[in-house]
Structure 1
Amino acid sequence: MPLHIYPRSLQYLEAVARLGSVQAASRALGIAASAIDRQIIGLEEECETPLFERHPRGMRLTAAGEAAILLARRWRADQDRLSDELRQMRGMEQGTVRLAAMDSLSNSVLPALVSVLRDRHPGINLSVDIMAPQDAARDLDQAMVDLAVVFNLSADKTRHVLWSTPLPFGCVVGQGHRLWGAPSVTLKDAAQNPIAAQSEILPVREYLERRYGWLFNPVKPVLVTNSQQLLKQVLLEGKLMAITSQMDVATELLAGDLSFVPIRDAGLKPQSLSLVVDARRPLSHAARQVGNLQASLLEDLMKRLNDMIAPAAPVSPG
């Protein structure tokens, strides 16, 4: 049986915060609105401060409420980990592991993780949320996820890195493009080609805009999108080029549908991809199994991608 050490009042607090009103929480939980309201008022009396701002159209957390929610999520995560560990002690390998990941991994390592996990650890369930790096870092800090696979995550003493790798930039093109199969290219030469670019909210574009904004000015990209799938479909036509990392197009590179041409210019700092956990909380047995599998799959994928790139002499900036 699952543990029930997580207070009901905190369950209601989370639901109201997530859904925006007592009435919405009542409908979602199947609990009378008056019961939920009593629990919230009781919490506020114990805390001696309001946890919500009450408005005609709903309820919004106060600063105290935000702090209470953070603690509530950590409490719930601790309950889940304890439950998993007790199952493990009874010889039962079960549990749900929550993973935050990037959209570009959706057709490479993530399906592989699901497949391997199902075969090797059928009692472990996986919950995957696709989100931006900053959102993944926030959810990891708030105990909303157990692990995160993210690009360009800043160093933080509260995070423990299970696996990490640099991701050098390159030009990605389809068959028929003039750069197809080239051993390397300078950024100046690459900029002479029509570009399909990622949206500025994505890590690759954010970095390029900050360091090499001249790539997109005065000549605008032919396409700007936050959809990795659309970007890859356009590149397959062989007319446009994108500046990104191998990991964004891993499946297509391994299939031979796209080509990755390294950019050898000095000063072009690689991105990074990291698998991280919160250093302040112990991992459950299930989360450790998922973390080990994910690190192994990422390492194998990077080796296969790097083996495809022929060594080339460094090219000085043009």
Structure 2
Amino acid sequence: MWKFNPRALHYLNEVARQGSLRKAATRLNIDVSAISRQLSQLEEDLGLPVGHRSGQGFALTEAGEELISLYRQQKASEEAARSRIEALQQLRRGRVTLAVGEGFIADLISAPLQNFMQRYPDIAITVEMAGANEAVRLIKEDMVDLALVYAPLPDPDLESHVSSCQPLELITPPGHPLIGAGPLDIHRVLDYPLALIDQQFGMGQLTRLVEQLEHIRFNPQLKTNSVAVLKNFVLSGMGLTFMPRLTVNDEVRAGKIICLPAPHPVFASAKAHIISHKGRELTVASERLLRHLHDGMLFFS
């Protein structure tokens, strides 16, 4: 039975993340030769190469990928066990790192996160802003514990703990000609100025899918990576966009924005998720925050 050197696995993990031995050595503040020796010994023990160096950097072999997966699972399990032991000792300290799409922020910050921090003052929370694609990358590289994502692409490496249907609706300024004009068809939207978010976001991926299914092409007057910019595009009366209703809830209540039903079945079936890396054990702090967000956020309750 193999017993791998934890230091060698740690070095291999950092090389994989940084893309080269030199960058990993800089990150770890050690000599490149130290990493090279550990990887060579690892390959000798394994009887297989764990990676290949080239002008483009360091590429893992299939064996190297297996070792990285093992290492990350071990680290996650150690962290989960440590957290549970602390809980058994009636200690509340811990930390949770959360990747969050911009559209969730208002709902997250309003009460759920505030209430959680008041209840568990010794649990440190880190919130990373990230679109769907970036949030998935952070989850899969075990850089964050949980992610709040909208309409992520299917991925066998992800586990969805909570999901809820949150249609991508047509957002218009008051008085727009499409209001009260009968059932919406996606082709009618093409006749009006439109703002769209980048395809690194779940909303952007949905619009791209609709283009492919309907053989149409949106020609937005504005493209952005900011939910706030989309919202202000509509608030200023410049045109339309697609967003979940809860993202503009305050503006809808104030009568500054009108939400019209999702103009396509793909938009109507969109879901919001709280995800983690499949197979990674959550810490006690992460599990508590997950339950709290499920119960407290409008997106999920």
TM category, shorter: 0.7 to 0.9
User: Comparing 220-229 with 247-256, which one deviates more in the overlay?
Assistant: 247-256
Residue 106 of structure 1 aligns to a residue in which SS? Answer: helix
Which AA in structure 1 matches 2:283? S
The CA deviation at 1:168 is 2.1
Q: Provide closer, same or farther for how the CA distance between residues 101 and 65 of structure 1 changes in structure 2, counting only shifts above 3 A.
A: same
Per-residue CA deviations over 1:153-194 (Å, capped at 9, x if unaligned) read 4667775543221122322123564457x5975125444322
Q: Provide closer, same or farther for how the CA distance between residues 95 and 224 of structure 1 changes in structure 2, counting only shifts above 3 A.
A: same
What is aligned with 1:207? 209
1:304-315 pair list within 5 angstroms: none
What is aligned with 1:9? 8
User: Comparing 114-123 with 249-258, which one deviates more in the overlay?
Assistant: 249-258
Give, in whole Å, the separation in 2 of the partners of 1:11 and 1:113: 36
Q: Provide closer, same or farther for how the CA distance between residues 37 and 200 of structure 1 changes in structure 2, counting only shifts above 3 A.
A: closer
1:68-217 pair list within 5 angstroms: 68-110=67-109, 112-134=111-133, 136-137=135-136, 139-140=138-139, 143-153=142-152, 160-175=159-174, 177-178=176-177, 186-187=184-185, 188-201=187-200, 202-214=204-216, 216=218
Give, in whole Å, the separation in 1 of the partners of 2:262 and 2:112: 30
* Equivalent residue pairs, number: 293
Residue 76 of structure 2 aligns to a residue in which SS? Answer: helix
What is aligned with 2:22? 23
TM superposition score normalised by structure 1: 0.77
Q: Provide closer, same or farther for how the CA distance between residues 121 and 147 of structure 1 changes in structure 2, counting only shifts above 3 A.
A: same
Which AA in structure 2 matches 1:226? N
The CA deviation at 1:63 is 2.6
What is aligned with 2:296? 297
Query: RMSD across aligned C-alpha pairs, in angstroms?
Result: 3.2
Per-residue CA deviations over 1:190-226 (Å, capped at 9, x if unaligned) read 443221122344233223223344362xxx2211223
Q: Provide closer, same or farther for how the CA distance between residues 131 and 67 of structure 1 changes in structure 2, counting only shifts above 3 A.
A: farther
Which AA in structure 1 matches 2:275? V
Which AA in structure 1 matches 2:206? V
Residue 108 of structure 1 aligns to a residue in which SS? Answer: helix
1:28-39 pair list within 5 angstroms: 28-39=27-38
Structure 1 unaligned spans of 5+: 1-5, 304-318
Give, in whole Å, the separation in 1 of the partners of 2:151 and 2:299: 18
Structure 2 unaligned spans of 5+: none
